[in-house]
Structure 1
């Protein structure tokens, strides 16, 4: 079922506003490194973006005449779309930075763990570097 042009515009503006508000909240959380709180927003973000897709579906748009479609993109809608696009771009940049930071942290932890495996005590009881073969335990029969 399709909406009347004004109803569709009102619903689109409301949806763009809700998605934009959520993106602003997510972007602030990403800036402050609160990644677990970002994860809590994912279900609502998914729900709102699905609603936006539905409102922008070809079936909805096709039901409008060319004049009705042109009238939908007034100054208020243009501003909402411009704000949404800017927030999406900032969100993408912040998410990419968060992913890069987590990758760096994981590499540091793995490198540190690998370094610890290379350090330890040798068979004679002295401290050695690189004497361990992959962390395996070997029993010696010369005691």
Structure 2
């Protein structure tokens, strides 16, 4: 296959653009808490990321190096697109981690911290008893 830098650069820029559009949309959805919509767009995101990965890995051996030892696909435009992608990907990771942390807190509130309002233990008289209702930190009463 003959290496055509101009065509490859255009394809690479297009690939970065498509992924960046997906990341921008996902980041906005994450900022507004629309997790269901984020999940729904996951197949599209995966498809665009795989396409970009193929572009980056294809023709690597055929590309060689241009004048000055610089890779021919490394142009100011591709460097700028890669920097934009990196910024969006870092923000996306942070927003996804925040969403996951929020889900963990919610699950903990619902499942772990939602204990029944009854406890068992020894009362003031030394007898074993079960108490129903909300618990209090300090309570003076007779359990007899």
TM-score range, shorter chain: 0.7 to 0.9
- How has the CA–CA distance of structure 1 residues 2 and 31 changed in structure 2, closer, same or farther, with 3 Å as cutoff? farther
TM-score between the two structures when normalised by the length of structure 1: 0.76
SS of match in other structure, 1:72: coil
Residues 2-81 of structure 1 mapped to structure 2, 5 A cutoff = 4-57=4-57, 59-67=58-66, 70-81=71-82
The structural deviation recorded for 1:3 is: 5.3
RMSD: 2.3
Structure 1: gaps (5+ residues)? 120-126, 131-143
The structural deviation recorded for 1:111 is: 3.4
After superposition, the C-alpha distances for 1:111-133 in whole angstroms (9 at most, x for unaligned) are: 353235x37xxxxxxx7259xxx
Structure 2: gaps (5+ residues)? 120-130, 135-144
Question: Counterparts of 1:85 and 1:100 in 2: how far apart (Å)?
Answer: 23
Kept after mapping to 1: 8 A contact 2:29/2:35: yes
Kept after mapping to 1: 8 A contact 2:16/2:85: yes
After superposition, the C-alpha distances for 1:15-34 in whole angstroms (9 at most, x for unaligned) are: 10000010000000001100
In the alignment, which residue of structure 1 is the partner of 2:92?
91
- How has the CA–CA distance of structure 1 residues 96 and 2 changed in structure 2, closer, same or farther, with 3 Å as cutoff? farther
Q: How many residues align?
A: 122
SS of match in other structure, 2:132: strand
In the alignment, which residue of structure 2 is the partner of 1:136?
none
Residues 115-126 of structure 1 mapped to structure 2, 5 A cutoff = 115-116=116-117, 118=118
Kept after mapping to 1: 8 A contact 2:31/2:95: yes
Higher helix proportion, which one?
A: 1
